[in-house]
Amino acid sequence: MAGGLDGVLLMVNPAPEHKTGVAALADRLEMTRLAVADEPGLGVYDGVLAGEPQVAATFAALARELGSKSVVFVMGIDTLARLDRWPDVESVVKNATYLAARRGGVGDAEVAALRQRLGPLGSALRVQLFEFNEAAGASSAQVRAAVRAGEPTVDLDPMVRDFIERKGLYH
């Protein structure tokens, strides 16, 4: 697993402010469960992640729940690049380690810019970047667009595709 992780719990944001046309939280949680059902080391966090203002609290609760295990927050570089806008940014930076996915080579400059915007706090930011293989799967935006256009959903787990069709999502 990337970053030497033992396992990954996926968290679904109930109201992602940077996305439009998303399905209801219950549907997105179920699609996530279906997508990782046969993937060792992957699970779905059933708690509520109530948007970026609650990330620090959710992360702290998870760390307490997991005890001595170290917790790493995995995200895309686009989300990490906005970290300085989160409430209680000092706590978020000092109490978490981040593993961020690069897309198309983008990443190093964004981390450097974030460190600069964080000022003295920037030196406390613990982040490791990894390459995201975009050929390995479709993005949620690509899936929604393909469904709306009546096109095939390439690289989408068949169980997730069937769920989308059964529920009539994204039409």
Q: How confident is the model at residue 99 (pLDDT cuts 50, 70, 90)?
A: confident
Query: Considering the chain, what percentage of its residues have pLDDT values greater than 70?
Result: 79
Task: Tell me the range of 34-38, 106-110, 121-125 where mean pLDDT is highest.
Answer: 121-125
User: Distance between CA 132 and CA 75 in Å, rounded?
Assistant: 11
Task: Give long-range contacts, CB 8 A cutoff, 24+ apart: 111-114.
Answer: 111/77, 111/80, 111/81, 113/81, 114/80, 114/81, 114/83, 114/84
**What pLDDT does residue 147 have?**
87
pLDDT at 87 over 70: yes
- Say if pTM beats, i.e. exceeds, 0.75: no
First to last CA, the chain: 35
**Pair 72, 101: CB distance under 8 Å:** no
pLDDT at 60 over 70: no
**What pLDDT does residue 89 have?**
84
Pull the structure tokens for residue 163: 């769920």
Q: How confident is the model at residue 111 (pLDDT cuts 50, 70, 90)?
A: very high
Pull the structure tokens for residue 86: 């989160």
DSSP 95: T
Average pLDDT of the chain to the nearest whole number: 80
